[in-house]
Amino acid sequence: MEFVHRTLPQQVYFGAGRAAANLAAEVRQRGASRVMVIASPRERERAERVCARIDVAVWHDDVVQHVPVATAEKARSVAAEHGADLLVSIGGGSTTSLAKAVALTRGMPIVAVPTTYAGSEATDVWGLTEEATKTTGVDSRVLPAAVIYDAELTLSLPVGLSVASGLNGLAHCVDGMWAPRADPINQALGAEGIRALARGLPLIAADPSGIEGRELALYGAYLSAVAFASAGSGLHHKICHVLGGTYELPHAETHATVLPYVLAFNAPAAPEAAGRIAHALGSDSGTAEAAVAALDELRVRLHAPTALRDYGLTEADLPGAVERVLAVVPPSNPRPVTGNNLTALLRAALTGAAPATQLEEI
């Protein structure tokens, strides 16, 4: 074996019911005196409980999906106006992403308190949207210095959104198997992340008030993000960033819908990765077909999102989407991507065609 692996420095706290205490300890350790808390109006009550033991200089609740540049600039101005020396983000991926946008230019540390299974809290990837184009980048300044996981904070997340968010995390694991910097270490983390999410999500669906499934999902989401941050962004994420930024599709649902089609596209050309994915999903077989079938079975069991048309994408949008995705496809993708096979992939995701049928057709 020969590879170069990159591990990101980050403090991780994990414990149900421990968010307020762990946040207070982290703020005290950092000696922060001007804390800016970013939380959407929907998260405000929960955020106030989490922040009960710290002094908050300013609350900011203008959180928008895919982080429009104007939204980022507004948050940056608030941080400057109040002399903030620490950002605390409490919420899902959009909230974490807004904190990252502030840190990108202000250079202040972030303490992320996730309430979904998005995983963005464990990456150094930022994203901003302007004029229907989502731009992403990697910068050490946006990696949260600390992450506080508390499964109790996810109990109010509806099952449907929990499933979509968890499959978004699972997409990080799958994409990391063949992303530009994939290596045996992040592949191992990704496989364990798949196992945790594949166990945790059905438990959440069966018992939304149970802690075990929520903890497994958070654990899996963290592993998925660490694997993704190391491996880089693969074809799946390039597709979803285009669809989200250009057509304003919902983030988690888009990832959950597109994932099986990218797996069906790449798995035959990456048999070792397909085997890891299949076994992590509980299959006795390690074939590409088994990986696709196991993921599809999980999605059916969870009543997961199945068609992009349910979220506003149309057949007329496909040519533009194909053009934008082709411009950012990683050269290292296991299978060559063309206008024709990418159109077929997106059309299948648009209509919700059975992913298994795409193994040979795409």
Other C-beta atoms closer than 10 Å to the C-beta of 91 total 27
Alpha-carbon Rg for the chain in angstroms: 19
Range of the domain at 23: 11-154
Q: In the chain, which residues have pLDDT < 70?
A: 357-362
Q: Annotate 174-216 with DSSP letters as a single string.
A: HHTTTSTT--HHHHHHHHHHHHHHHHHHHHHHH-TT-HHHHHH
**Do both 113 and 261 map to the same domain?**
no
Specify the pLDDT at position 360: 63
Whose tokens are 């929907």? That residue is: 42
**Do both 282 and 147 map to the same domain?**
no
Work out the percent of the chain whose per-residue pLDDT is above 70.
98
Whose tokens are 């997340």? That residue is: 157
**Do both 142 and 207 map to the same domain?**
no
Q: How many domains in the chain?
A: 2
Whose tokens are 């299948």? That residue is: 348
- How far is 84 from 128, CA to CA, in rounded Å? 21
Average pLDDT, the chain: 94
Give pTM, 2 decimals.
0.90
Specify the pLDDT at position 67: 92
**Do both 146 and 172 map to the same domain?**
no
- How far is 197 from 298, CA to CA, in rounded Å? 10
Check which CATH number belongs to the domain holding 134 and give it. Answer: 3.40.50.1970
- How far is 359 from 356, CA to CA, in rounded Å? 6
**Do both 278 and 303 map to the same domain?**
yes
- How far is 166 from 156, CA to CA, in rounded Å? 15
- How far is 161 from 117, CA to CA, in rounded Å? 10
> In which element (H, E) is residue 225 found?
helix 211-231
**Do both 190 and 318 map to the same domain?**
yes
**Do both 186 and 142 map to the same domain?**
no
**Do both 212 and 138 map to the same domain?**
no
- Which of 137, 154, 171 lies at the terminal end of a domain, its last residue? 154
Q: Annotate 100-115 with DSSP letters as a single string.
A: HHHHHHH---EEEEES
